């Protein structure tokens, strides 16, 4: 089955072609980061308008990569939520129009299920069951995964997601959007140990996350440095290092607890923040201590992309699922509500 995947949940337009027999045949992505950087974050209306302009050229591009025509497509998958409602509507309308025109099935895919399954596109994918850390600008979740659609939420963020905290902390430091890569780059010159930031909610049992207090602690640290006339570039680098270290260590502590609670021997990390090198290194160490193996997607598939949507959609289509209802994007959509796929 040849499936086109379309991702338009936020500020990246992703299109890909996946073949259930041959794997990924082509993929392309347009990022709106430069456009939104002037505003310090995503402007929903601008994001929606830009998706409209990009979808047709990107579809033509990936079909050319795959040496296919539209008539070769067997089905289309698209992100149906969660995400920005306008952006979701653009992708859903385009995908369903394509399915109507070609008389092929379509299926709406859960954005976070796409991220969770992104490591399946690698040469050595994880087997079920596993613990998944989904960590991005909008989500920080630990999930017990026993199969496609078989998800138990172990822990969630009670306030800011980790990626959102990175963005807000970066803004405090005068760094551009998106904040995660900017802080990671600045932290390379930081001095380990100069600052010690708290590890939120690690002093109590449980797998919930909270990063709003860490954000406030960062602001107070910056303001104190200003008052002491010590907000040099080196001080900012030291603060960036301490902030990143605190987020990474918090995530690592919770991942270790999740591995111990489930007794699983595989840990998957996915989502934009999963590209962070310090996080990958720390979780590799944590997994080794628990006799487990860490899996993650290639950097290009950590951020939003069409390949993960094509793959996730293909698995559900092969199981006989498809949509017949009117277009109904879901800005909020709990992953536990998804149906299980029999394999």
pLDDT digits (tens, 9 = 90+) for 162-196: 999 999 999 999 999 999 999 999 999 999 999 99
Q: Which tokens sit at 318? A: 């092969």
Query: Which of 238, 232, 137 lies closest to 186 in space, CA to CA?
Result: 238
Q: State how far the Cα of 28 lies from the Cα of 343, in Å rounded to an integer.
A: 29
50 marked as binding residue: no
Buried b / exposed e along 88-100 (16+ C-beta atoms within 10 A): bbbbbbbbbebbe
The DSSP bridge partners found for residue 19 are 2, 23
Question: Which pLDDT score is estimated for 343?
Answer: 64
Q: Where are the beta strands (DSSP E) in the chain?
A: 2-7, 12-19, 23-31, 75-81, 106-110, 130-135, 140-147, 150-156, 266-270, 293-295
Res 109: pLDDT: 98
Task: Confirm or deny that 134 is annotated as ligand binding.
Answer: yes
Is 36 annotated to bind a ligand? Reply is no
Task: Name residues whose C-beta falls within 8 Å of residue 148's C-beta, 6 or more positions apart in sequence.
Answer: 113, 117, 312, 315, 316, 340, 341, 343
DSSP annotation of 71: G
- For residue 138, what pLDDT is reported? 87
Looking at domain 2-117+301-337, its CATH architecture is 2-Layer Sandwich (3.30)
CA distance 196 to 212: 17
Other C-beta atoms within 10 Å of 31: how many? Answer: 14
CATH 3.30.420.40 maps onto the chain at: 2-117+301-337, 128-296
Prior bond of 178 cis (ω within 30°): yes
| pLDDT category of residue 323 using cuts at 50, 70 and 90 | confident
Mean pLDDT across 323-335: 91
pLDDT tens readout for residues 215-272 = 999 999 999 999 999 999 999 999 999 999 999 999 999 999 999 999 999 999 999 9
167 known member of a binding site: yes
Place of tokens 């109904």: 328
In whole angstroms, what is the distance from residue 189 CA to residue 221 CA? 18
Average pLDDT, the chain: 96
Do 201 and 207 contact (CB within 8 A), yes or no? no
Pick the CATH number of 128-296 from 1.10.630.10, 3.30.420.40, 3.30.70.270, 3.60.21.10: 3.30.420.40
Residue 274: closest CA among 242, 237, 302, 246: 302
Sign, Cα dihedral of 328, 331, 333, 335: positive
Average pLDDT over residues 303-307: 97
Instruction: Kindly tell me if the per-residue pLDDT of 83 is higher than 70.
Output: yes
Give the model confidence (pLDDT) of 199-216 as tens digits. Answer: 999 999 999 999 999 999
41 belongs to an annotated ligand binding site: no
| CA trace torsion 52, 168, 131, 321 (10° rounding) | -20
C-alpha 109/C-alpha 63 separation (Å) is 21
The per-residue pLDDT for 137 is 87
Backbone angles phi, psi at 82, to 5 degrees: -75, 165
pLDDT digits (tens, 9 = 90+) for 46-56: 999 999 999 99
Residue 189 in marked binding region = no
Is 159 labelled as part of a ligand binding site? no
């Amino acid at each position: 089955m040849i499936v086109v995947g379309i991702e338009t949940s936020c500020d990246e337009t992703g299109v890909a072609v996946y073949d259930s027999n041959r794997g990924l045949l082509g993929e392309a992505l347009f990022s709106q980061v430069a456009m939104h950087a002037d505003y310090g974050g995503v402007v929903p209306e601008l994001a929606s308008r830009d998706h409209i302009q990009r979808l047709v050229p990107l579809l033509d591009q990936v079909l050319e990569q795959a040496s296919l025509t539209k008539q070769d497509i067997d089905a289309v998958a698209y992100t149906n939520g969660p995400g920005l409602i306008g952006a979701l509507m653009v992708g859903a309308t385009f995908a369903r129009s394509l399915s109507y025109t070609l008389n092929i099935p379509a299926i709406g895919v859960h954005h976070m299920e796409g991220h969770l399954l992104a490591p399946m596109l690698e040469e050595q994918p994880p087997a079920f069951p596993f613990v998944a850390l989904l960590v991005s600008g909008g989500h920080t979740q630990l999930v017990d995964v026993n199969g496609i659609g078989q998800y138990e939420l172990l822990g969630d963020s009670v306030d800011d997601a980790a990626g959102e905290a990175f963005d807000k902390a970066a803004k405090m430091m005068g760094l551009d959007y998106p904040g995660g890569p900017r802080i990671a780059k600045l932290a390379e010159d930081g001095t380990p140990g100069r600052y010690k930031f708290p590890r939120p909610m690690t002093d109590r049992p449980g797998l919930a996350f909270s990063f709003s207090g860490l954000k406030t602690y960062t602001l107070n640290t910056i303001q104190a440095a200003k008052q002491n006339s010590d907000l040099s570039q080196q001080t900012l680098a030291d603060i960036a290092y301490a902030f990143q270290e605190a987020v990474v260590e918090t995530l690592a502590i919770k991942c270790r607890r999740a591995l111990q609670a489930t007794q699983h021997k595989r840990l998957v990390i996915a989502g934009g923040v999963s590209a962070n090198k310090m996080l990958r290194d720390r979780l590799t160490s944590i997994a080794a201590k628990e006799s487990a193996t860490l899996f993650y997607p290639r950097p290009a598939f950590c951020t939003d992309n069409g390949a993960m949507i094509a793959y996730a959609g293909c698995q559900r289509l092969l199981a006989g699922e498809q949509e017949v209802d009117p277009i109904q994007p879901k800005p909020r959509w709990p992953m536990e509500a998804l149906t299980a796929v029999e394999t």
